[in-house]
Amino acid sequence: MGLGLLVVTSPAPAALAFALFALYIHVRLGQRAALASILSAGCLAAILALLIAHLWYPYPIGDWIQGMRRAWAATYNVPEKFLHYWFAHPKSSFYGLLYLMALVLGLHAFRLRKQRVRSKVGFLVCAAALAAFVVRCSLYVPRLNYNLLAFAPLVYLVVIFTSLEITQSYRTTKRLRPALHFFVLVVFLLTALGFARSLIMFPRHLTNGISYATAKTRLDEIREAASGPVLITPALYGLVDNYDDISVMDMPHYPVPKTYEVVVFAQVGLARQAPLNIDGYRLVEDRFDPNPPRVFGVKIANSSHGYEYAVYRRDDT
């Protein structure tokens, strides 16, 4: 049932989870039994997904599928920065190193345990399908790495257990164990930098930032006063309950179209202390935080991670 719910809410992680499930089944069962289990689980997940969508989704299922296809096509037309999203982004700092370590250690652990795999052909086929999907959805388009980051707890466990197993399988354990364990610890600490940064910034947001309630109330007022759809950036998406008069602009897409009377930009994601100058629009409300977060005088971010915003009106309105 969990897989069916995941299909409805987030199809990409559902596909990854299903591939991991198939790998596990091929380790434990023979070819025919594994195939039967995978087919039955897949059919059950599909039936549950359709049932859930039919009962609770307020729009036709065809619209849901068509929307996913449009989002998929739009995403793949955006230029990406691989190193930024896998090593420097605050939400995934050095996670590229962690996942690379998990891959190397996992392959070595598989080499040590390959005799325990009951269905080797099926396992390799599922592994190849999983690798292709990971490359397509998280490496070719690094901005979508959140699909893979959802499995970070599992990746941490793979690194911990495989490193322990490897150090116990060598005669030179006394030399290898401290070096490998120290390297694993360093990687874990590096991946925690982004989380630690968010923890440091959160109290500042509580005392000085714009709250969710304040930002939502103001956005509702802007929508009510506008004569047409309002364009917002993705960071403000969570403030919206009814999306009938809202359009969301993907951040890399410039210039801003002139078809909207009002545009609202969130400060989060812009990495700047002052609002942008948008061609064809004039700034009418500036609620950006001009002071970047600092710790002992050292800047740790370009802007606060709250609901700071700027409102623009089209020049001819």
Residue 200 lies in a domain: no
Residue 214 and residue 180 share a domain? no
Q: pLDDT, tens digit, for every residue of 56-80?
A: 666 676 776 776 676 665 555 555 6
Q: Is the pLDDT of residue 185 over 80?
A: yes
Residue 197 lies in a domain: no
Q: Is the pLDDT of residue 153 over 70?
A: yes
**Mean pLDDT, to the nearest integer, of 243-271?**
77
Q: Is the pLDDT of residue 314 over 60?
A: yes
Out of 74-88, 105-119, 133-147, which region has the weakest mean confidence (pLDDT)?
74-88
pLDDT of residue 57: 66
Q: Is the pLDDT of residue 99 over 60?
A: yes
- What is the DSSP track for 165-230? HHHHSSTTHHHHHHHHHHHHHHHHHHHTHHHHHHHHHHHHHHHHSPPHHHHHHHHHHHHHH-SS-E
pLDDT of residue 252: 47
Tokens 């739009």, residue located: 74
Residue 20 and residue 140 share a domain? yes
Residue 196 lies in a domain: no
Residue 264 and residue 224 share a domain? yes
pLDDT of residue 61: 67
- Domain assignment of residue 250, given as a range: 207-314
Residue 202 lies in a domain: no
Tokens 């001009």, residue located: 290
Q: Is the pLDDT of residue 117 over 80?
A: no
Residue 99 lies in a domain: yes
Out of 71-80, 131-140, 169-178, 281-290, which region has the weakest mean confidence (pLDDT)?
71-80
Cβ proximity of 39 and 18 under 8 Å: no
Residue 241 and residue 163 share a domain? no
Q: What percent of the chain has pLDDT over 90?
A: 0
Cβ proximity of 230 and 256 under 8 Å: no
Q: Is the pLDDT of residue 187 over 50?
A: yes
Out of 24-28, 97-101, 157-161, 238-242, which region has the weakest mean confidence (pLDDT)?
24-28
**Mean pLDDT, to the nearest integer, of 82-107?**
82
Nearest to 70 by CA among 240, 250, 220: 250
Q: How close are the terminal C-alpha atoms of the chain, in Å?
A: 51
Residue 221 and residue 143 share a domain? no
Residue 50 lies in a domain: yes
Residue 198 lies in a domain: no
Residue 248 lies in a domain: yes
Virtual torsion, Cα 248, 262, 251, 150, nearest 10 deg? -40
Residue 61 and residue 137 share a domain? yes
Residue 247 and residue 211 share a domain? yes
How many structural domains is the chain composed of?
A: 2
Q: pLDDT, tens digit, for every residue of 188-242?
A: 999 888 888 888 888 877 777 888 889 899 988 888 888 888 888 888 888 887 7
pLDDT of residue 53: 65
Residue 223 and residue 305 share a domain? yes
Out of 56-65, 122-131, 293-302, which region has the weakest mean confidence (pLDDT)?
56-65
Q: Is the pLDDT of residue 169 over 50?
A: yes
